[in-house]
Structure 1
């Protein structure tokens, strides 16, 4: 498939009509940009290795939030609980969303400026001199353009998932981060869930032996939300589902197992194959709703993404990862999170999480509690209970935000860097190409350009840092 990489880029990257708020929201057509050549990126040497990079310390992290419709509003509230943070700006196209986010922190004493109404206003926010970090929680198509613009204007960037929706955007993130020596942190909160942190710590200490296979997923029934008039502004997520076919949301399942397998830090993804079912639900839902509401007629006959996508990845060291994506079927929520090693196995779903060390089955609840105590991660010991009080998907969102701020304030490397953001997000367009080409294999780009061979894993040990306060 190496000879077909140029064809892949021509077919798999959609044209994005500008990077303004409104134009990007409508850029979900199936058009493909034919002016890209992936071989250009292969010729570009790494400008600077961001893996393990420690940016200069920031005693106070001054934050601008862009997008407070869904996830962003909760992030504003969480950040108001973290010491050494100054919330400077809340920016959203819709004034009511920015105001609602501000009201959630009004009692905290934070006094951010509200920037609303203008679809280009986010650029002015990124250009300001009083901002250190831009926190992006907008629709998917805006993540990469905003993160690149922020880094190019001297800001660190935190971006919601996926960090990019095209291979071109993935490379833009990498090159901007390297060029500006600014962190691009993907907000993959599932890496900070308690069982995932526990199994990562166990894996790093050799409990599972050599990890040979892992599985992750995003199985979450979002059918009603996709078609809701209120959940996603202007149906942006439905428009994506109506134009792209593959694993459109890979990072929840992929991020945690990639860290366990030291991907980008000792191993790399080699190639993948992907297969999808037909759509058996979204098209029918669109027809049913359109029969009584004209607003849904625009979605009738669209090539909706299939119910289930399964993607299999092989690594350079001969290990495998299986990912699944299903956001329409009436199935119980699951991210699977299975780790299979030469000495043991862990699996989170169906809940509760389980550990096995042999063929006899899962260890008992009492034995699990002993291991949980022995391998309790440092971050959980430090702020785990406080995180549960603050909230955000049970506390994992707060653990993620607290750790990112702690790294910036103490000049420490981040554990989810730009190479992770690009790689984990790239599975979206790569799986799309494979699905459209009878599940043929496609090479996975090495965004580290060979540095994976010498990059070291970044553990959340808190041996340095860990001094950022929490204000309940």
Structure 2
């Protein structure tokens, strides 16, 4: 897409100004500094807090958490950074304390970094309070959650961004440049997933100083993610964490911007990993939790069909021993990229039937955002990705611009979970995928537009 065509669409030009830093300023004046609240100061919340405290354009006005230990750690981070002490909520254990945060002080934005089951409720309350939302993944748990979040955003007009950091991974963004440049030809098939051994994350001994792999407890007797995340594996069977994989793939395929998901189905393997981990590998075979059965299949495979004919495959794999991988594959009529072997093959450029190392291509197609901000992102969480996802949200709110990962992206990517659960329950049935845009996908323009300088 040429720059002159892109600029015809005002809201999308505003977005490009935010994400690429290369287009004219917005007509509507923006803000230089934001008053921001953080709901959830656990281990993930603290990672995001570190990024917020590095920014001079953020005034951290309020913190909320029902765990005094975590709230105390967050306050210590604020103090160490030399910032003013924010107002705090939740020390009394009130599960609705976040509502007082939204009501008590005039906030421009709030970041939600709580357990999954709270995301929809908190995001809706924030949008109703006219506070822009940056929500950690996922957007909701049930399919109805996703419709409710969507309707709240549509009725209030409050900005909402899903904080999916993998969309900002350096190689992922370079591949986006390649896709926009037509290097792979016409896209045909894409793959990704969440392939991450979380066994030591799902169980511990409840000691806040030993959150990983220290015991066989979960739920009320566990700590951190073992307190809440493990229960999802106990009672749910599906693609429980889709956005790390589907986010970049949806960007490549222009989902909601000339394309959409049309169908979905899921298959689940047997469940053996967690029981084996507790009983044999952790040596806790006499522990009551080692006798439990788990709903979540060890490998959940989900396929999606797209309006323009592409297929997408996702895999969720968190209960077996394996090195971390998101398993990306982008394949078109002219070649393919795979992240697992750091390889690329482009017909007519690469040696016949041979892989090339990806690094030279990444260097050539490095995204302008990484070229501009790599030094600032150094040391940020997840290899710099957390800098970029926070930066994108803050800059979009400041500029009154469209969100780079907007409400339609959020609900579609996240709704893969309940739809996959339904497919499995109904005998691996292929289901129609809801059109959350109500037909707008046909005319909406791509974001992260290919910059015609590259």
User: Which TM class, normalised by the smaller chain length?
Assistant: 0.7 to 0.9
Equivalences for residues 20-35 of structure 1 within 5 A: none
What SS does structure 2 have at the residue aligned with 1:272?
strand
Counterpart of 1:114 (choices 63, 81, 88) is: 88
Work out the CA distance in 2 between the residues paired with 1:53 and 1:302: 51
Higher mean displacement: 103-112 or 174-183: 103-112
Q: Matched residue pairs, number? A: 405
Work out the CA distance in 2 between the residues paired with 1:173 and 1:392: 28
Partner of 1:402: 391
Counterpart of 1:386 (choices 358, 363, 376) is: 376
Partner of 2:177: 201
Work out the CA distance in 2 between the residues paired with 1:56 and 1:435: 49
Q: Please state how far the C-alpha of 1:406 moved relative to its aligned partner.
A: 1.4
Normalising by structure 1, report the TM-score: 0.81
Q: Please state how far the C-alpha of 1:354 moved relative to its aligned partner.
A: 2.3
Work out the CA distance in 1 between the residues paired with 2:390 and 2:57: 12
Whether 1:161 and 2:154 are equivalent positions in the alignment is: no
Normalising by structure 2, report the TM-score: 0.84
Q: Please state how far the C-alpha of 1:437 moved relative to its aligned partner.
A: 1.6
What SS does structure 2 have at the residue aligned with 1:109?
coil
Work out the CA distance in 2 between the residues paired with 1:81 and 1:189: 18
Q: Please state how far the C-alpha of 1:329 moved relative to its aligned partner.
A: 0.8
Work out the CA distance in 2 between the residues paired with 1:292 and 1:163: 37
Partner of 1:376: 366
Partner of 1:91: 64
Q: Please state how far the C-alpha of 1:83 moved relative to its aligned partner.
A: 3.0
What SS does structure 2 have at the residue aligned with 1:306?
coil
What SS does structure 1 have at the residue aligned with 2:235?
coil
What SS does structure 2 have at the residue aligned with 1:325?
strand
Whether 1:183 and 2:159 are equivalent positions in the alignment is: yes
Whether 1:452 and 2:441 are equivalent positions in the alignment is: yes
Work out the CA distance in 2 between the residues paired with 1:80 and 1:261: 35
Partner of 1:318: 309
Deviations 1:249-287 (A, max 9, x none): 111111011101100111000001110001012234456
What SS does structure 2 have at the residue aligned with 1:104?
helix
Assess, with a 3 A threshold, how the Cα gap between structure 1 residues 103 and 383 changes in structure 2: closer, same or farther: same
Partner of 2:346: 357
Assess, with a 3 A threshold, how the Cα gap between structure 1 residues 180 and 426 changes in structure 2: closer, same or farther: same
Deviations 1:393-419 (A, max 9, x none): 110111111121112212222220011
Contact 1:229 1:235 in 2 (8 A): no
Contact 1:173 1:184 in 2 (8 A): no
Whether 1:250 and 2:242 are equivalent positions in the alignment is: yes
Which 5+ residue runs of structure 1 have no aligned equivalent? 1-49, 464-472
Assess, with a 3 A threshold, how the Cα gap between structure 1 residues 286 and 52 changes in structure 2: closer, same or farther: farther
Contact 1:91 1:122 in 2 (8 A): yes
What SS does structure 2 have at the residue aligned with 1:405?
helix
Deviations 1:309-350 (A, max 9, x none): 000100111110000001011112110111111122111114
Q: Please state how far the C-alpha of 1:116 moved relative to its aligned partner.
A: 2.7
Partner of 2:214: none
What SS does structure 2 have at the residue aligned with 1:408?
helix
Assess, with a 3 A threshold, how the Cα gap between structure 1 residues 81 and 137 changes in structure 2: closer, same or farther: same
Equivalences for residues 3-402 of structure 1 within 5 A: 57-111=30-84, 112-117=86-91, 118-230=94-206, 231=211, 232=224, 235-285=227-277, 292-293=286-287, 296=289, 300-350=291-341, 353-358=342-347, 359-364=352-357, 368-369=359-360, 371-389=361-379, 391-402=380-391
Higher mean displacement: 107-116 or 95-104: 107-116
Assess, with a 3 A threshold, how the Cα gap between structure 1 residues 51 and 275 changes in structure 2: closer, same or farther: farther
Which 5+ residue runs of structure 2 have no aligned equivalent? 1-10, 16-27, 212-223
Deviations 1:197-217 (A, max 9, x none): 110121122222211110001
Contact 1:226 1:238 in 2 (8 A): yes
